[in-house]
Amino acid sequence: MTNTNTTDETDSAVPAEGGKPQEAIDAQGERRREELDDRIFEHSAGDEQEGVPFVGAGPGNPRLLTVAGKELLEAADLVVHAGSLVNSELLDEYCAHADLVNSVGKDLEELIPLMRDAYEDGENVVRLHSGDPAIYGAALEQMDALEHEGVPTYFVPGVTSAFAASATLRTQLTLNEVSNHVAFTRPQGKTLTEEEDHISEFVEMGDVTTCIYLGTHAVRDTMERLLEDDHDPETPVAVIYHASWPDEDVIIGDIGTIADKVEEAGYRASALVVIGDAVTGAGYERSFLYGDWANRGSSSENTSESEASDD
């Protein structure tokens, strides 16, 4: 990729007047509309970079932390973590030497100065999010506020709970002739209006695996709305509570039955809901990649990207 942006990186790190996070977020948002960050063209995911890393802790099991995340945590002086959403075993194993700050109950006005001051004092600061910070992580607002205070930041990806759920279910989220698409979504509620809830539209497409985050409390409401929209009540649904944690629980049902099963189990949070035929993995067709079609007229070394994408 060629960098055609002429932004001076030092110009983007202007301290916010008064250090107010909302002013910083607004200013950084306006800057994003006008120009790209040079670092987009200078670094790739996994690179060692300067600044405060926003690390994905993974879904729960400490072994699903990335190598990059592990190295950063082991070198950290301060770890600001997402409370009980991060497995305490991970904190004990990789962060016992560091100062730990639980971000739950703290607003940006408290968190930003905390991380900024520690970084400016020469400490290695890590912001630890559950799963992957790019999926419903509210990371960018923290990063923008820090950047505006002169503190560089960057993402370190993590394993999101949908991938842990797929592994637990021993299936793929995409399957040939079953599911060509995956939707990461959440149900309507305090932060999402009824018009912004597209779950029924995803399910209606038929070849979409719909992964619902932050929706355990709304399973019954979601399924009732799907039934009202005339979706097949026998469409498979899985609810994976605490995917990859020691107390993981898997509930299998369908649109018509899953709400009763979840309520009987007593779960109101911390579960991923998966809707679609990929839940069972039944009915898929052999992919093109490993058949005669893929190698027709060429060696295996010349298999094209378009062919590989059909696997």
171 and 269, same domain (yes or no): yes
Give 24-73 pLDDT, tens digit per residue: 788 877 887 888 888 888 888 989 999 999 999 999 999 999 999 999 99
249 and 194, same domain (yes or no): yes
Q: Residue written as tokens 């790019």?
A: 134
Read off the CATH number of the domain in which 166 is found: 3.30.950.10
Lowest-confidence pick of 17-26, 118-127, 178-187, 298-307: 298-307
Give 95-144 pLDDT, tens digit per residue: 999 999 999 999 999 999 999 999 999 999 999 999 999 999 899 999 99
Domain count, the chain: 2
Calculate mean pLDDT across residues 149-173. Answer: 97
CB contact at 8 A, 139 and 249: no
Q: Give the model's confidence band at 290: pLDDT under 50 very low, under 70 low, under 90 confident, else very high.
A: confident
Residue 7 has pLDDT above 50, yes or no: no
Residue 12 has pLDDT above 50, yes or no: no
Domain assignment present for residue 37? The answer is no
User: Which domain-ending residue is among 139, 156, 173?
Assistant: 156
CA distance 1 to 166: 33
275 and 166, same domain (yes or no): yes
Residue 308 has pLDDT above 60, yes or no: no
Q: Give the model's confidence band at 145: pLDDT under 50 very low, under 70 low, under 90 confident, else very high.
A: very high
* Alpha-helix residue ranges (DSSP H) falling in 237-289: 258-265
Question: Nearest CA to 79 among 122, 136, 118?
Answer: 118
pLDDT of residue 309: 52
Residue 310 has pLDDT above 70, yes or no: no
- CA dist 116 to 7, 120, 121, 306, Å? 23, 6, 9, 45
Lowest-confidence pick of 45-49, 75-79, 180-184, 242-246: 45-49
Question: Can you read off the two tokens belonging to residue 241?
Answer: 């509570």
Q: Residue written as tokens 């299998």?
A: 252
User: Which domain-ending residue is among 141, 156, 171?
Assistant: 156
Residue 55: beta bridge partners? Answer: 128, 156
Residue 206 has pLDDT above 80, yes or no: yes
168 and 276, same domain (yes or no): yes
For the chain, what is the mean pLDDT? 88
131 and 191, same domain (yes or no): no
Domain that holds residue 115: 48-156
207 and 247, same domain (yes or no): yes
Give 219-244 pLDDT, tens digit per residue: 999 999 999 999 999 999 999 999 99
Residue 300 has pLDDT above 70, yes or no: no
| Whole-structure pTM value | 0.84
Residue 2 has pLDDT above 60, yes or no: no
CA distance 127 to 139: 9
Calculate mean pLDDT across residues 295-310. Answer: 53
190 and 251, same domain (yes or no): yes
133 and 56, same domain (yes or no): yes
Residue 213 has pLDDT above 70, yes or no: yes
229 and 147, same domain (yes or no): no
pLDDT of residue 195: 81
Read off the CATH number of the domain in which 59 is found: 3.40.1010.10
